[in-house]
Amino acid sequence: MSEQRPLGQPSLPNMPWEEKPAGHDKVLWRYSANPIIGRNPIPGGARAFNSAVVPYGDAYVGVFRIDHHNDMPQLHFGRSANGIDWEIRNEAIHFVDEDGAPMPRSAYYYDPRVVRIGEIHYVTWCNEFIGTMSPTIGVAMTEDFETFVQLENAYLPFNRNGVLFPRKINGEYVMLNRPSDNGHTPFGDMYLSRSPDMTFWGKHRLVMKAGHGGWWEGTKIGAGPVPIETSEGWLVIYHAVIGNCNGFVYSMGSSLLDLENPERLLARGNQYLLSPEKDYETTGFVPNVAFPCATLCDADTGRLAIYYGAADTYTALAFGNVHEIVAWTKANSSV
């Protein structure tokens, strides 16, 4: 077991967890008390979903996407002792620049990810390129989850999905991202970009294309939670979208990328890991969406908790084991 230990993950003996139900024949299973965050989670906030959670001290913190009563999304900070019951601040995060001055407000902030790199936590999200109502990837850093220092946007519009790797690779920061359009984007592949300093992003490479393994991922794909380092490669859980006559359906897929050269795809599961089927996934503001944005992983056991947005309305949890997901992805790979 030790050589399979998920590298770079902490021990989390108290992370949210439920054993796989008897007779369950899939690698992921849902938390029996889903959803963990319901409608109207804070005054003026209608829905919390597609949100990011990390261990912090002996508890958990999160950056939550909350769509307000004008349907514009903002980012809110939250704390939890157990990773399930959340206290989310009513006031949205207000970013400052590197001199501590307030940043101009974007029209929207959504789909955050949080990653610890060394002693610093970085937040990435879909951010308005100010003055254009067009999406790019916002980047901020925090040392204490009180002050959030916003850095340069990573890209020109249009890009709506930015996910950092949890360490530098060959001396560079690496971010998965998905160039898009300004609408609901009926296309999308996964790229990666590199930066020496978290400011200048380049060396862009294609990683995975949509439409590879079946209709379930035929329309578009995009990175989900921060990649997990394993002895078999970076485990990337991603969202995968089919476009049918009634709209999009968002499922979760898995792939493995080379540890030192993550543009190299090693394996890619040819079926979804989880697809909307529960009422809280099929019914809501946007039906049929399971959108993963964060994981907690216990290095000792490989237990994995996946936080995902359900129907753009709720926050839900699914469980699995990293070793089993890696083995399943290799065994069912179509690469």
By CB under 6 A, name the binding residues for ligand BMA.
50, 110-111, 184, 250, 286, 289, 291, 309, 312
The strand order across the sheet containing 190-195 reads 159-164, 173-179, 190-195, 202-208
Closer residue to ligand BMA (CB): 281 or 298: 281
- Cα–Cα distance between 268 and 253 in angstroms, integer? 8
39 or 203: CB nearest ligand BMA: 39
Q: How far is the CB of 222 from ligand BMA (least distance, A)?
A: 8
- Residue 253 CB, shortest distance to ligand BMA, in Å, is 15
User: Coil, helix or strand for 81?
Assistant: coil
- Tell me whether residue 49 or residue 165 sits nearer to ligand BMA (CB atom): 49
Nearer to ligand BMA, 169 or 289 (CB): 289
Return the percent helix, strand and coil in the chain, to nearest 5.
Answer: 5, 45, 45
DSSP state of 53: E
Closer Cβ to ligand BMA, 6 or 276, answer by number: 276
Q: How far is the CB of 239 from ligand BMA (least distance, A)?
A: 8
- Return the closest-CA partner of residue 248 out of 217, 226, 209: 217
Nearest residue to ligand BMA, scored by beta-carbon proximity: 286
Nearer to ligand BMA, 50 or 195 (CB): 50
Which alpha helices (H) appear in the chain, and where do they start and end? Answer: 279-282, 322-331
Candidates 90, 52, 37, 87; CA nearest to 68 is 90
Rounded to a whole number of angstroms, the minimum distance from the CB of residue 184 to ligand BMA is 6
- Cβ(157)–Cβ(129) under 8 Å? yes
Closer to ligand BMA at the Cβ: 15 or 63?
Answer: 63
Residue 43: CB minimum distance to ligand BMA, A: 22
Rounded CA gap, 55 and 78, in Å?
12
Distance from C-alpha of 142 to C-alpha of 122, rounded to nearest angstrom: 6
- The nearest distance, CB 17 to ligand BMA, in angstroms, is 26
Q: How far is the CB of 13 from ligand BMA (least distance, A)?
A: 32
Nearest alpha carbon to residue 151 among 167, 170, 175: 175
Beta bridge partners of 74: 66
